[in-house]
Structure 1
Amino acid sequence: MNIYVGNLAYSVTEEDLRAAFSTYGEISSASLITDKFTGNSKGFGFVEMSNNAEADAAIKGLNETPLKGRNMKVNEAKPRSPRPARAPRW
């Protein structure tokens, strides 16, 4: 299951995410979303867990808990909706 983790402190690392979620089970991947120009964290990321029961336990156990001073928002990630095509710039 893919899990959305929001409201993260900008100092949180992927290793911090792995440490927080690893108490609930095996983590397939953990990634932070960064600004493509500055490389700075955007304050959210995703954790992939292969076992759905472990993922549900992690969501219930970690939602609204603090990590580096900010309460995380943790829930199941929604599929990304298609974006409309951009009009060409002339």
Structure 2
Amino acid sequence: MSIYVGNLSYDVAEEDLSGAFAEYGTVKSAKLPTDRETGRPRGFGFVEMNTEAEETAAIEALDGAEWMGRQLKVNKAKPRENRGGGNRGGGSGW
């Protein structure tokens, strides 16, 4: 499972994100998705930690906390939804 981190500063690097969460346990990965066209960060990221207990501690400590001038939104990441690519014509869908 991973942690969703929203409302991030656009100046945050993956190393910064990893460092902030390292206070609460072992960080397995920290990812900052970027915009396909501009390559700029999108203002949110995902962190994977070693154990669920570490994830819970990080979420409880950092949700609503101010970091780099922004109030963080931190919670368990939801599974990615299938956007159903392909049928963009808005047809009957059968």
The match for 2:10 is 10
Is there any run of 5+ residues in structure 2 with no aligned partner, and where? 90-94
The match for 1:65 is 65
Structure 1 segment 1-90 matched on structure 2, within 5 A: 1-87=1-87
Tell me which structure has the larger Cα radius of gyration: 2
What TM-score does the superposition give when structure 1 sets the normalisation length?
0.92
Give CA deviations for 1:31-84 in whole Å, capped at 9, x if unaligned.
101101111111000000120001100000001111210011000000011112
What TM-score does the superposition give when structure 2 sets the normalisation length?
0.88
Aligned equivalents of 1:78, 1:41: Cα separation in 2: 20
Aligned equivalents of 2:57, 2:84: Cα separation in 1: 36
Aligned equivalents of 1:59, 1:88: Cα separation in 2: 37
RMSD: 1.3
- Percent identity (aligned): 53
Aligned equivalents of 2:44, 2:22: Cα separation in 1: 18
Q: How many residues align?
A: 89
Q: Rate the CA distance shift 1:59–1:88 in 2: closer, same or farther, 3 A.
A: closer
More strand by share: 1
